[in-house]
Structure 1
Amino acid sequence: MTGKLEGRKAVITGAGSGMGRAIAVRFAAEGAAVAALDLDRAAAEATASTIAQAGGSAHAVQVDVSNGASVGAAIAQSVSALGGIDVLANIAGILDGYAPILDTSEELWDRILGVDLKGVFLVTKAALPAMLEGGGGTIVNMASIAGFVARGGGVAYTSAKHGVIGLTKQMAADYGLQGVRVNAICPGAVETAMTKRILEEGELAVIESINAVPAGRHAQPEEIANLALFLANDESSFVHGAAYVIDGGWTVV
Protein backbone atom coordinates (compact mmCIF):
# COMPACT_ATOMS: atom_id res chain seq x y z
CA MET A 1 0.00 0.00 0.00
CA THR A 2 1.16 3.52 -0.79
CA GLY A 3 -0.57 5.71 1.80
CA LYS A 4 -2.77 7.46 -0.75
CA LEU A 5 -5.23 8.41 2.00
CA GLU A 6 -2.71 9.02 4.76
CA GLY A 7 -4.20 11.26 7.41
CA ARG A 8 -7.65 11.36 5.81
CA LYS A 9 -10.87 10.76 7.74
CA ALA A 10 -13.25 8.50 5.83
CA VAL A 11 -16.89 7.61 6.43
CA ILE A 12 -18.18 4.55 4.55
CA THR A 13 -21.80 3.39 4.62
CA GLY A 14 -22.67 -0.22 3.97
CA ALA A 15 -19.27 -1.08 5.42
CA GLY A 16 -20.42 -4.29 7.08
CA SER A 17 -20.20 -6.47 3.99
CA GLY A 18 -19.51 -6.75 0.28
CA MET A 19 -18.19 -3.73 -1.56
CA GLY A 20 -18.59 -1.49 1.48
CA ARG A 21 -16.37 -3.70 3.59
CA ALA A 22 -13.77 -4.01 0.82
CA ILE A 23 -13.69 -0.22 0.43
CA ALA A 24 -13.40 0.37 4.19
CA VAL A 25 -10.54 -2.12 4.49
CA ARG A 26 -8.74 -0.65 1.46
CA PHE A 27 -9.12 2.95 2.63
CA ALA A 28 -7.76 2.03 6.04
CA ALA A 29 -4.84 0.18 4.48
CA GLU A 30 -4.05 3.37 2.55
CA GLY A 31 -3.82 5.36 5.78
CA ALA A 32 -7.34 6.64 6.38
CA ALA A 33 -9.03 6.61 9.76
CA VAL A 34 -12.36 4.96 9.02
CA ALA A 35 -15.88 5.16 10.39
CA ALA A 36 -17.54 1.93 9.26
CA LEU A 37 -21.30 2.53 9.11
CA ASP A 38 -23.88 -0.21 8.65
CA LEU A 39 -27.42 -1.10 9.62
CA ASP A 40 -26.02 -4.31 11.10
CA ARG A 41 -23.98 -3.22 14.12
CA ALA A 42 -22.23 -6.58 14.44
CA ALA A 43 -21.18 -6.46 10.79
CA ALA A 44 -19.81 -2.93 11.21
CA GLU A 45 -17.90 -4.06 14.28
CA ALA A 46 -16.49 -7.02 12.35
CA THR A 47 -15.18 -4.67 9.66
CA ALA A 48 -13.68 -2.35 12.25
CA SER A 49 -12.05 -5.35 13.95
CA THR A 50 -10.55 -6.53 10.67
CA ILE A 51 -9.08 -3.09 10.10
CA ALA A 52 -7.72 -2.86 13.65
CA GLN A 53 -6.12 -6.29 13.40
CA ALA A 54 -4.27 -5.10 10.29
CA GLY A 55 -2.95 -2.08 12.20
CA GLY A 56 -5.49 0.45 10.96
CA SER A 57 -7.88 2.80 12.71
CA ALA A 58 -11.63 2.20 12.56
CA HIS A 59 -14.81 2.94 14.46
CA ALA A 60 -18.05 0.99 14.03
CA VAL A 61 -21.27 3.02 13.83
CA GLN A 62 -24.80 1.72 13.38
CA VAL A 63 -27.05 3.63 10.98
CA ASP A 64 -30.24 3.33 9.00
CA VAL A 65 -29.40 5.46 5.96
CA SER A 66 -33.08 5.84 5.06
CA ASN A 67 -33.86 7.57 8.38
CA GLY A 68 -32.84 11.18 8.86
CA ALA A 69 -32.56 11.04 12.65
CA SER A 70 -30.43 7.89 12.51
CA VAL A 71 -28.18 9.43 9.87
CA GLY A 72 -27.75 12.64 11.84
CA ALA A 73 -26.72 10.74 14.95
CA ALA A 74 -24.35 8.46 13.03
CA ILE A 75 -22.58 11.32 11.26
CA ALA A 76 -22.26 13.25 14.54
CA GLN A 77 -20.73 10.14 16.14
CA SER A 78 -18.38 9.71 13.18
CA VAL A 79 -17.21 13.33 13.28
CA SER A 80 -16.61 13.04 17.01
CA ALA A 81 -14.62 9.83 16.59
CA LEU A 82 -12.59 10.92 13.56
CA GLY A 83 -12.27 14.65 14.17
CA GLY A 84 -13.88 15.54 10.84
CA ILE A 85 -14.67 14.07 7.43
CA ASP A 86 -12.44 14.23 4.35
CA VAL A 87 -13.87 11.29 2.41
CA LEU A 88 -17.44 10.02 2.20
CA ALA A 89 -18.31 6.79 0.43
CA ASN A 90 -22.05 6.16 0.06
CA ILE A 91 -22.01 2.41 -0.52
CA ALA A 92 -25.08 1.15 1.36
CA GLY A 93 -27.62 -0.36 -1.00
CA ILE A 94 -30.19 -3.09 -1.49
CA LEU A 95 -31.55 -4.94 -4.52
CA ASP A 96 -35.14 -5.42 -5.68
CA GLY A 97 -34.97 -8.90 -7.18
CA TYR A 98 -35.27 -7.58 -10.76
CA ALA A 99 -38.96 -6.91 -10.13
CA PRO A 100 -40.87 -5.27 -13.03
CA ILE A 101 -43.37 -2.55 -12.21
CA LEU A 102 -46.39 -4.87 -11.94
CA ASP A 103 -44.54 -6.94 -9.36
CA THR A 104 -43.29 -3.89 -7.44
CA SER A 105 -45.38 -2.97 -4.44
CA GLU A 106 -45.46 0.54 -3.04
CA GLU A 107 -43.65 -0.84 0.00
CA LEU A 108 -40.83 -2.31 -2.12
CA TRP A 109 -40.54 0.91 -4.13
CA ASP A 110 -40.27 3.01 -0.97
CA ARG A 111 -37.75 0.64 0.60
CA ILE A 112 -35.44 0.55 -2.43
CA LEU A 113 -35.62 4.29 -3.09
CA GLY A 114 -35.28 4.97 0.62
CA VAL A 115 -31.96 3.17 0.94
CA ASP A 116 -30.45 3.48 -2.53
CA LEU A 117 -31.31 7.11 -3.32
CA LYS A 118 -32.69 8.88 -0.26
CA GLY A 119 -29.88 7.32 1.78
CA VAL A 120 -27.25 8.99 -0.41
CA PHE A 121 -29.08 12.29 -0.07
CA LEU A 122 -29.44 12.09 3.71
CA VAL A 123 -25.91 10.94 4.47
CA THR A 124 -24.32 13.48 2.14
CA LYS A 125 -26.43 16.32 3.49
CA ALA A 126 -25.42 15.40 7.03
CA ALA A 127 -21.72 14.95 6.24
CA LEU A 128 -21.19 17.89 3.89
CA PRO A 129 -20.97 20.64 6.54
CA ALA A 130 -18.05 18.87 8.23
CA MET A 131 -16.33 18.43 4.87
CA LEU A 132 -16.77 22.09 3.98
CA GLU A 133 -15.57 23.16 7.42
CA GLY A 134 -12.41 21.12 6.82
CA GLY A 135 -11.78 22.78 3.46
CA GLY A 136 -13.36 20.19 1.15
CA GLY A 137 -13.02 16.53 0.36
CA THR A 138 -14.23 13.75 -1.87
CA ILE A 139 -17.54 11.93 -2.13
CA VAL A 140 -17.89 8.56 -3.86
CA ASN A 141 -21.43 7.37 -4.53
CA MET A 142 -22.37 3.80 -5.43
CA ALA A 143 -24.52 3.85 -8.53
CA SER A 144 -24.72 0.95 -11.01
CA ILE A 145 -24.89 0.18 -14.70
CA ALA A 146 -28.60 0.20 -13.89
CA GLY A 147 -28.15 3.97 -13.81
CA PHE A 148 -27.59 3.83 -17.58
CA VAL A 149 -29.35 0.76 -18.98
CA ALA A 150 -32.24 -1.57 -18.32
CA ARG A 151 -31.98 -5.13 -16.95
CA GLY A 152 -29.34 -4.21 -14.40
CA GLY A 153 -32.09 -4.45 -11.80
CA GLY A 154 -35.83 -4.06 -11.43
CA VAL A 155 -37.84 -0.88 -11.90
CA ALA A 156 -37.20 0.47 -8.39
CA TYR A 157 -33.47 -0.27 -8.39
CA THR A 158 -32.99 1.12 -11.90
CA SER A 159 -34.88 4.30 -10.99
CA ALA A 160 -32.84 4.74 -7.82
CA LYS A 161 -29.51 4.32 -9.58
CA HIS A 162 -30.46 6.76 -12.33
CA GLY A 163 -31.22 9.14 -9.47
CA VAL A 164 -27.84 8.57 -7.83
CA ILE A 165 -26.06 9.54 -11.03
CA GLY A 166 -28.15 12.70 -11.32
CA LEU A 167 -27.56 13.55 -7.67
CA THR A 168 -23.82 13.03 -8.17
CA LYS A 169 -23.68 15.42 -11.12
CA GLN A 170 -25.74 18.09 -9.39
CA MET A 171 -23.67 17.98 -6.20
CA ALA A 172 -20.46 18.13 -8.23
CA ALA A 173 -21.72 21.28 -9.93
CA ASP A 174 -22.92 22.82 -6.67
CA TYR A 175 -19.84 22.21 -4.51
CA GLY A 176 -16.84 21.77 -6.79
CA LEU A 177 -15.70 25.36 -6.35
CA GLN A 178 -15.84 24.84 -2.58
CA GLY A 179 -13.33 22.02 -2.75
CA VAL A 180 -15.67 19.01 -2.79
CA ARG A 181 -15.37 16.49 -5.62
CA VAL A 182 -18.32 14.15 -6.15
CA ASN A 183 -18.21 11.07 -8.40
CA ALA A 184 -20.03 7.78 -8.82
CA ILE A 185 -19.09 4.16 -9.41
CA CYS A 186 -21.29 2.09 -11.72
CA PRO A 187 -20.54 -1.62 -11.32
CA GLY A 188 -22.01 -4.51 -13.24
CA ALA A 189 -22.23 -7.87 -11.53
CA VAL A 190 -20.11 -8.09 -8.39
CA GLU A 191 -19.64 -11.28 -6.42
CA THR A 192 -21.16 -10.57 -3.02
CA ALA A 193 -23.50 -12.51 -0.76
CA MET A 194 -26.36 -10.20 -1.72
CA THR A 195 -25.93 -10.60 -5.48
CA LYS A 196 -25.50 -14.36 -5.15
CA ARG A 197 -28.97 -14.56 -3.61
CA ILE A 198 -30.45 -12.50 -6.43
CA LEU A 199 -28.77 -14.60 -9.10
CA GLU A 200 -30.05 -17.78 -7.55
CA GLU A 201 -33.61 -16.42 -7.75
CA GLY A 202 -33.33 -14.39 -10.97
CA GLU A 203 -34.68 -14.94 -14.44
CA LEU A 204 -32.62 -17.18 -16.72
CA ALA A 205 -32.26 -14.42 -19.34
CA VAL A 206 -30.86 -12.03 -16.76
CA ILE A 207 -28.40 -14.61 -15.44
CA GLU A 208 -27.24 -15.49 -18.94
CA SER A 209 -26.64 -11.83 -19.81
CA ILE A 210 -24.51 -11.38 -16.70
CA ASN A 211 -22.47 -14.49 -17.40
CA ALA A 212 -21.87 -13.43 -21.03
CA VAL A 213 -19.91 -10.24 -20.29
CA PRO A 214 -16.59 -9.90 -22.18
CA ALA A 215 -14.62 -10.30 -18.96
CA GLY A 216 -16.18 -13.74 -18.59
CA ARG A 217 -16.71 -13.38 -14.86
CA HIS A 218 -18.14 -11.26 -12.07
CA ALA A 219 -16.09 -8.55 -10.38
CA GLN A 220 -14.62 -9.05 -6.94
CA PRO A 221 -15.43 -6.41 -4.30
CA GLU A 222 -11.74 -5.55 -4.07
CA GLU A 223 -11.76 -4.48 -7.73
CA ILE A 224 -14.52 -1.99 -6.99
CA ALA A 225 -12.49 -0.79 -3.99
CA ASN A 226 -9.58 -0.02 -6.34
CA LEU A 227 -11.77 2.39 -8.29
CA ALA A 228 -13.20 3.90 -5.11
CA LEU A 229 -9.66 4.55 -3.90
CA PHE A 230 -8.78 6.35 -7.14
CA LEU A 231 -11.83 8.59 -6.88
CA ALA A 232 -11.20 9.30 -3.20
CA ASN A 233 -7.56 10.36 -3.47
CA ASP A 234 -5.69 13.17 -5.18
CA GLU A 235 -4.82 11.13 -8.28
CA SER A 236 -8.34 11.93 -9.54
CA SER A 237 -8.08 15.64 -8.71
CA PHE A 238 -9.54 16.73 -12.08
CA VAL A 239 -12.44 14.26 -11.98
CA HIS A 240 -15.74 15.95 -11.08
CA GLY A 241 -19.26 14.62 -11.57
CA ALA A 242 -18.18 11.46 -13.39
CA ALA A 243 -20.01 8.14 -13.39
CA TYR A 244 -17.39 5.43 -13.88
CA VAL A 245 -18.59 2.19 -15.43
CA ILE A 246 -16.79 -0.91 -14.14
CA ASP A 247 -18.79 -3.80 -15.55
CA GLY A 248 -16.48 -6.24 -17.31
CA GLY A 249 -17.89 -5.00 -20.62
CA TRP A 250 -21.56 -5.73 -19.84
CA THR A 251 -22.78 -2.47 -21.41
CA VAL A 252 -20.69 -2.70 -24.60
CA VAL A 253 -22.36 -5.84 -25.96
Structure 2
Amino acid sequence: MSLDGTTCIITGGARGIGYALADRFLAEGAGGVAVVDLETADAEAAATRLVDTHGDRVVGLGADVSDAAQVQAVVDATTARFGPVGLFAANAGIGTAQGLMADDATWDRIWKVNVMAHVVAARIVVPDMVERGGGTFLTTASAAGLLAQIGDAGYSVTKHAAEAFAEWLAITYGDQGLRVHCLCPQGVNTDMIRGGRGSSAVETVALQGVLEPEQVADAVVTAMAEGRFLVLPHPEVAQFYERRATDPDRWLAGMRRLQAKVVGAIGGG
Protein backbone atom coordinates (compact mmCIF):
# COMPACT_ATOMS: atom_id res chain seq x y z
CA MET A 1 0.00 0.00 0.00
CA SER A 2 1.16 3.52 -0.82
CA LEU A 3 -0.05 6.67 0.91
CA ASP A 4 0.98 8.80 -2.07
CA GLY A 5 -1.78 11.34 -2.66
CA THR A 6 -4.17 9.68 -0.17
CA THR A 7 -6.63 11.83 1.76
CA CYS A 8 -6.56 10.86 5.44
CA ILE A 9 -8.69 11.66 8.47
CA ILE A 10 -7.26 10.99 11.94
CA THR A 11 -9.41 11.35 15.04
CA GLY A 12 -7.75 12.05 18.36
CA GLY A 13 -5.12 13.66 16.19
CA ALA A 14 -4.03 16.65 18.24
CA ARG A 15 -1.46 14.74 20.28
CA GLY A 16 -0.02 11.33 21.06
CA ILE A 17 -0.52 8.47 18.61
CA GLY A 18 -2.88 10.49 16.42
CA TYR A 19 -0.41 13.32 15.94
CA ALA A 20 2.41 10.87 15.22
CA LEU A 21 0.24 9.16 12.61
CA ALA A 22 -0.52 12.48 10.94
CA ASP A 23 3.15 13.40 10.84
CA ARG A 24 4.15 10.01 9.44
CA PHE A 25 1.34 9.84 6.86
CA LEU A 26 2.35 13.26 5.55
CA ALA A 27 5.98 12.17 5.40
CA GLU A 28 4.83 9.13 3.40
CA GLY A 29 3.23 11.42 0.81
CA ALA A 30 -0.40 11.72 1.90
CA GLY A 31 -2.19 14.23 -0.27
CA GLY A 32 -4.03 15.78 2.64
CA VAL A 33 -4.61 15.06 6.32
CA ALA A 34 -7.45 16.22 8.56
CA VAL A 35 -6.39 16.28 12.20
CA VAL A 36 -9.57 15.90 14.24
CA ASP A 37 -9.97 16.40 17.97
CA LEU A 38 -12.75 17.23 20.40
CA GLU A 39 -11.47 20.77 20.93
CA THR A 40 -11.18 22.72 17.69
CA ALA A 41 -8.37 24.88 19.07
CA ASP A 42 -6.28 21.78 19.84
CA ALA A 43 -6.83 20.35 16.37
CA GLU A 44 -5.95 23.66 14.72
CA ALA A 45 -2.80 24.07 16.83
CA ALA A 46 -1.64 20.57 15.88
CA ALA A 47 -2.33 21.29 12.21
CA THR A 48 -0.30 24.49 12.43
CA ARG A 49 2.71 22.59 13.76
CA LEU A 50 2.38 20.04 10.96
CA VAL A 51 2.07 22.76 8.30
CA ASP A 52 5.45 24.11 9.42
CA THR A 53 7.00 20.77 8.46
CA HIS A 54 4.83 19.49 5.63
CA GLY A 55 3.19 22.50 4.02
CA ASP A 56 -0.51 23.18 3.59
CA ARG A 57 -1.63 19.56 3.22
CA VAL A 58 -3.12 19.67 6.73
CA VAL A 59 -6.30 21.00 8.28
CA GLY A 60 -7.41 20.93 11.92
CA LEU A 61 -11.08 20.25 12.64
CA GLY A 62 -13.06 19.91 15.85
CA ALA A 63 -15.65 17.18 16.34
CA ASP A 64 -17.22 14.87 18.88
CA VAL A 65 -16.39 11.54 17.21
CA SER A 66 -19.51 9.88 18.60
CA ASP A 67 -21.80 12.42 16.89
CA ALA A 68 -22.67 11.31 13.35
CA ALA A 69 -23.55 14.82 12.14
CA GLN A 70 -20.21 16.20 13.32
CA VAL A 71 -18.25 13.33 11.75
CA GLN A 72 -20.13 13.79 8.50
CA ALA A 73 -19.21 17.47 8.56
CA VAL A 74 -15.54 16.53 9.01
CA VAL A 75 -15.69 14.12 6.08
CA ASP A 76 -17.42 16.71 3.91
CA ALA A 77 -14.90 19.44 4.75
CA THR A 78 -11.95 17.12 4.22
CA THR A 79 -13.29 15.88 0.88
CA ALA A 80 -13.97 19.41 -0.31
CA ARG A 81 -10.38 20.41 0.43
CA PHE A 82 -8.34 17.30 -0.42
CA GLY A 83 -10.61 14.90 -2.30
CA PRO A 84 -12.34 11.63 -1.34
CA VAL A 85 -11.20 10.02 1.90
CA GLY A 86 -8.88 7.07 1.27
CA LEU A 87 -7.86 6.39 4.86
CA PHE A 88 -9.84 6.89 8.05
CA ALA A 89 -7.99 6.40 11.34
CA ALA A 90 -10.48 5.95 14.18
CA ASN A 91 -7.93 6.75 16.84
CA ALA A 92 -9.77 8.75 19.52
CA GLY A 93 -10.18 6.92 22.79
CA ILE A 94 -10.67 7.41 26.52
CA GLY A 95 -10.22 5.44 29.74
CA THR A 96 -12.05 5.47 33.06
CA ALA A 97 -9.57 4.00 35.61
CA GLN A 98 -12.69 2.56 37.26
CA GLY A 99 -13.97 -0.91 37.92
CA LEU A 100 -17.28 -2.51 38.80
CA MET A 101 -18.83 0.55 40.42
CA ALA A 102 -18.36 2.98 37.51
CA ASP A 103 -21.71 4.66 36.98
CA ASP A 104 -23.92 4.37 33.90
CA ALA A 105 -22.87 7.78 32.57
CA THR A 106 -19.23 6.68 32.60
CA TRP A 107 -20.06 3.46 30.76
CA ASP A 108 -22.20 5.33 28.24
CA ARG A 109 -19.46 7.83 27.42
CA ILE A 110 -16.66 5.29 27.00
CA TRP A 111 -18.92 3.06 24.89
CA LYS A 112 -19.73 5.96 22.58
CA VAL A 113 -16.11 7.11 22.18
CA ASN A 114 -14.29 3.76 22.11
CA VAL A 115 -16.83 1.74 20.11
CA MET A 116 -19.69 3.66 18.53
CA ALA A 117 -17.35 6.32 17.12
CA HIS A 118 -15.83 3.56 14.96
CA VAL A 119 -19.28 2.44 13.84
CA VAL A 120 -20.30 6.02 13.08
CA ALA A 121 -17.17 6.62 11.00
CA ALA A 122 -17.49 3.34 9.12
CA ARG A 123 -21.12 4.03 8.22
CA ILE A 124 -20.02 7.30 6.64
CA VAL A 125 -16.79 6.37 4.84
CA VAL A 126 -16.86 2.64 4.08
CA PRO A 127 -19.70 2.60 1.50
CA ASP A 128 -17.94 5.34 -0.50
CA MET A 129 -14.59 3.55 -0.24
CA VAL A 130 -16.12 0.32 -1.50
CA GLU A 131 -17.91 2.13 -4.33
CA ARG A 132 -14.60 3.69 -5.43
CA GLY A 133 -12.83 0.33 -5.34
CA GLY A 134 -11.10 0.44 -1.98
CA GLY A 135 -9.78 2.34 0.97
CA THR A 136 -8.30 1.86 4.43
CA PHE A 137 -9.95 1.85 7.85
CA LEU A 138 -7.53 1.94 10.78
CA THR A 139 -8.90 1.17 14.23
CA THR A 140 -6.89 2.08 17.29
CA ALA A 141 -7.91 -0.51 19.85
CA SER A 142 -5.32 -1.61 22.41
CA ALA A 143 -3.55 -4.70 23.65
CA ALA A 144 -6.44 -4.59 26.13
CA GLY A 145 -8.70 -5.45 23.19
CA LEU A 146 -6.86 -8.75 22.75
CA LEU A 147 -6.07 -9.39 26.42
CA ALA A 148 -7.55 -7.36 29.30
CA GLN A 149 -6.98 -4.14 31.20
CA ILE A 150 -6.35 -4.49 34.90
CA GLY A 151 -8.02 -1.65 36.81
CA ASP A 152 -10.33 -0.37 34.06
CA ALA A 153 -13.41 -2.44 33.27
CA GLY A 154 -14.85 0.00 30.73
CA TYR A 155 -11.59 0.27 28.79
CA SER A 156 -11.13 -3.50 28.69
CA VAL A 157 -14.68 -4.16 27.47
CA THR A 158 -14.81 -1.39 24.87
CA LYS A 159 -11.40 -2.14 23.41
CA HIS A 160 -12.45 -5.77 22.93
CA ALA A 161 -15.53 -4.47 21.12
CA ALA A 162 -13.47 -2.11 18.94
CA GLU A 163 -11.20 -4.98 17.89
CA ALA A 164 -14.21 -7.18 17.17
CA PHE A 165 -15.81 -4.49 15.01
CA ALA A 166 -12.57 -4.11 13.04
CA GLU A 167 -12.53 -7.87 12.47
CA TRP A 168 -16.12 -7.72 11.24
CA LEU A 169 -15.28 -4.94 8.80
CA ALA A 170 -12.34 -6.93 7.45
CA ILE A 171 -14.46 -10.05 6.98
CA THR A 172 -17.42 -8.24 5.46
CA TYR A 173 -15.67 -5.82 3.12
CA GLY A 174 -12.19 -7.28 2.63
CA ASP A 175 -13.12 -8.81 -0.72
CA GLN A 176 -14.53 -5.46 -1.84
CA GLY A 177 -11.26 -3.58 -1.56
CA LEU A 178 -11.42 -2.37 2.03
CA ARG A 179 -8.16 -2.76 3.94
CA VAL A 180 -8.67 -2.90 7.70
CA HIS A 181 -5.93 -2.63 10.30
CA CYS A 182 -6.32 -2.84 14.08
CA LEU A 183 -3.68 -1.14 16.20
CA CYS A 184 -3.17 -2.86 19.57
CA PRO A 185 -0.28 -1.34 21.54
CA GLN A 186 0.43 -1.67 25.23
CA GLY A 187 1.88 1.38 26.96
CA VAL A 188 2.55 4.47 24.83
CA ASN A 189 3.91 7.77 26.10
CA THR A 190 0.70 9.79 25.79
CA ASP A 191 -1.42 12.03 27.99
CA MET A 192 -3.44 8.97 29.05
CA ILE A 193 -0.31 7.37 30.49
CA ARG A 194 1.25 10.52 31.92
CA GLY A 195 -1.96 11.66 33.55
CA GLY A 196 -2.83 8.30 35.06
CA ARG A 197 0.36 7.29 36.87
CA GLY A 198 -0.44 5.74 40.20
CA SER A 199 -3.57 3.93 38.98
CA SER A 200 -3.44 0.15 38.60
CA ALA A 201 -4.53 0.45 34.95
CA VAL A 202 -1.65 2.71 33.94
CA GLU A 203 0.97 1.07 36.15
CA THR A 204 0.15 -2.29 34.58
CA VAL A 205 0.90 -1.11 31.04
CA ALA A 206 3.89 0.93 32.17
CA LEU A 207 5.35 -2.23 33.68
CA GLN A 208 5.31 -3.86 30.23
CA GLY A 209 7.35 -1.08 28.60
CA VAL A 210 6.29 2.29 27.21
CA LEU A 211 6.92 3.19 23.56
CA GLU A 212 6.98 6.64 21.98
CA PRO A 213 4.08 7.56 19.63
CA GLU A 214 6.51 7.77 16.72
CA GLN A 215 7.44 4.11 17.21
CA VAL A 216 3.76 3.21 17.05
CA ALA A 217 3.33 5.20 13.83
CA ASP A 218 6.29 3.31 12.34
CA ALA A 219 4.61 0.01 13.22
CA VAL A 220 1.36 1.15 11.58
CA VAL A 221 3.03 2.10 8.30
CA THR A 222 4.95 -1.20 8.23
CA ALA A 223 1.79 -3.24 8.88
CA MET A 224 -0.10 -1.38 6.17
CA ALA A 225 2.72 -2.02 3.69
CA GLU A 226 2.66 -5.72 4.59
CA GLY A 227 -1.14 -5.97 4.57
CA ARG A 228 -1.40 -7.19 8.17
CA PHE A 229 -4.65 -6.79 10.10
CA LEU A 230 -3.13 -6.71 13.59
CA VAL A 231 -0.62 -3.98 14.32
CA LEU A 232 1.41 -4.97 17.39
CA PRO A 233 4.06 -2.39 18.28
CA HIS A 234 4.80 -4.52 21.35
CA PRO A 235 5.48 -7.89 19.65
CA GLU A 236 5.15 -9.82 22.91
CA VAL A 237 1.39 -9.16 22.77
CA ALA A 238 1.14 -11.88 20.10
CA GLN A 239 2.61 -14.39 22.57
CA PHE A 240 0.26 -13.29 25.34
CA TYR A 241 -2.69 -13.53 22.94
CA GLU A 242 -1.73 -17.08 21.97
CA ARG A 243 -1.39 -18.11 25.61
CA ARG A 244 -4.79 -16.62 26.38
CA ALA A 245 -6.38 -18.64 23.58
CA THR A 246 -4.66 -21.96 24.27
CA ASP A 247 -4.84 -22.03 28.07
CA PRO A 248 -7.25 -19.40 29.38
CA ASP A 249 -7.23 -20.63 32.97
CA ARG A 250 -3.45 -20.39 33.19
CA TRP A 251 -3.56 -16.98 31.53
CA LEU A 252 -6.19 -15.69 33.98
CA ALA A 253 -4.10 -16.93 36.90
CA GLY A 254 -1.12 -15.08 35.48
CA MET A 255 -3.16 -11.90 35.14
CA ARG A 256 -4.24 -12.18 38.76
CA ARG A 257 -0.59 -12.48 39.78
CA LEU A 258 0.24 -9.42 37.70
CA GLN A 259 -2.61 -7.51 39.31
CA ALA A 260 -1.38 -8.42 42.79
CA LYS A 261 2.14 -7.29 41.87
CA VAL A 262 0.93 -3.94 40.55
CA VAL A 263 -1.44 -3.28 43.44
CA GLY A 264 1.30 -4.22 45.90
CA ALA A 265 3.76 -1.86 44.23
CA ILE A 266 1.27 1.02 44.31
CA GLY A 267 0.44 0.36 47.94
CA GLY A 268 4.12 0.14 48.80
CA GLY A 269 4.91 3.41 47.02
TM over 0.5: yes
Displacement, 1:133? 3.5
Change (3 A) 1:153 1:28: farther
Question: Is this contact kept in 2: 1:188–1:247, CA < 8 A?
Answer: yes
What TM-score do you get using the length of structure 1 for normalisation?
A: 0.87
Q: Deviations over 1:69-127 (max 9, x none)?
A: 11121212122122101111110111111x1112x110000010110100111012111
* Secondary structure of the corresponding residue to residue 72 of structure 2: helix
- The one-character-per-residue Cα deviations of 1:119-154 (angstroms, maximum 9, x if unpaired) are 111012111233224321111100111112223551
| Cα contact 1:189–1:210 (8 A) shared by 2 | yes
Residue pair 2:10, 2:88 contacting (<8 A) in 1 also: yes
C-alpha contact (below 8 Å) 1:84/1:134 kept by paired residues = no
> Quick check: 1:187–1:245 contact (8 Å CA) kept in 2?
yes
Q: 1:229 aligns to what?
A: 221
Partner of 1:26 in structure 2?
24
Change beyond 3 A, Cα 1:134–1:52:
farther
Task: Say if 1:95 and 1:153, in contact at 8 Å, map to a contact too.
Answer: no
Shift of 1:175: 0.8
The one-letter amino acid paired with 1:42 is A
Partner of 2:54: helix, strand, or coil? coil
Decide whether aligned partners of structure 1 residues 177 and 95 sit closer, same or farther in structure 2, where only a CA change above 3 A counts. same
Q: Is this contact kept in 1: 2:197–2:203, CA < 8 A? A: no
Residue 72 of structure 2 is aligned to residue 87 of structure 1? no
Question: 5 Å matches for 1:1-253?
Answer: 4-32=2-30, 33-56=32-55, 57-97=57-97, 99-102=98-101, 104-152=102-150, 154-200=152-198, 202-203=199-200, 206=201, 209-213=204-208, 217-232=209-224, 235-237=225-227, 239=228, 242-247=229-234, 249=236, 252=240
CA contact (8 A) 1:185 1:245 kept: yes
Bigger relative contact order, structure 1 or 2, given CA contacts below 8 A and separation 6+? 1
**Larger Cα Rg: Structure 1 or Structure 2?**
2
Aligned CA distance change for structure 1 residues 157 and 136 (closer, same or farther; 3 Å) = same
Could you say if the C-alpha distance between residues 84 and 209 of structure 1 is closer, same or farther in structure 2, counting changes exceeding 3 Å? same
**Structure 1 range deviating more: 50-59 or 11-20:** 50-59
Equivalent position amino acid for 2:213 in 1: P
SS, match of residue 51 in structure 2:
helix
RMSD: 2.0
- The TM-score, its normalising length taken from structure 2, stands at 0.82
1:207 positional shift: 5.3
* Inter-partner Cα distance in structure 1 for 2:130 and 2:150: 34
Unaligned runs of 5+ in 1: none
Structure 2: tracts of 5 or more residues without a match: 241-253, 255-269
Question: CA–CA distance in 1 between the matches of 2:89 and 2:204?
Answer: 29
Contact 2:150 2:204 in 1 (8 A): no
Distance 1:95 1:160 in 2: 10
Question: Across the two proteins, how many residue pairs are aligned to each other?
Answer: 238
Q: Deviations over 1:198-234 (max 9, x none)?
A: 124x03xx55543432xxx3110111111222344xx
Q: 1:153 to 1:179 in 2, by over 3 A?
A: farther
* Identity of matched residues, %: 31
Contact 1:79 1:130 in 2 (8 A): no
